[in-house]
Amino acid sequence: MEFCSSCGKRMVLRRTKDGSVFVCPACNCKKTTDSSAVKKVAPKKPREKIVVIGKEDQDLKTNPTAKIKCPKCENNLAYTWQVQTRSGDEGATQFFRCTKCNHTFRLYT
Ligand SMILES: [Zn+2]
Ligand SMILES: [Zn+2]
């Protein structure tokens, strides 16, 4: 952030062909920026892999079941499992899959 040296107002960053300048909106005076600092681009981070949260393709027959009402068919039994969120500090997410209609839903714990 730059402030105008003559009137003290906050200057606005403008991009030009030659680089960036700070322009005072009040008195129009300009101040060039350190172009090396402006042009510095942060290295791109590799994309994080998307965490698979469901178990859609897995056989859940071995999973424990829980007595919970399916929001879709109102069956009262669902297979359940927990998935730890990526950050690890948000706790686990409890997933359920209805034993009757295979609808998958979840609860946040
Ligand atoms: Zn000014
Ligand atoms: Zn159901």
Domains in the chain (CATH in brackets) are 1-37 (2.20.25), 65-108 (2.20.25.10)
CA 23 to centroid of ligand 2, rounded, Å: 63
pTM: 0.43
Ligand closest to 96 (CA) is 2
CA gap 49, 37 in Å, rounded: 31
Q: Which residue has the tokens 């994309």?
A: 47
CA gap 25, 39 in Å, rounded: 23
CA 13 to centroid of ligand 1, rounded, Å: 13
CA 2 to centroid of ligand 1, rounded, Å: 11
- Tens digit of each residue's pLDDT, the chain (109 residues): 889 988 999 999 988 887 888 999 999 988 887 655 545 566 666 665 555 555 555 567 788 999 999 999 999 999 999 888 776 667 788 899 999 999 999 875 5
The string over 74-92, giving b where at least 16 C-beta atoms fall within 10 Å of a residue's C-beta and e elsewhere, is eeeebbbbeeeeeeeeeee
Ligand closest to 98 (CA) is 2
CA 71 to centroid of ligand 2, rounded, Å: 7
Q: Are 85 and 52 in contact (CB under 8 A)?
A: no
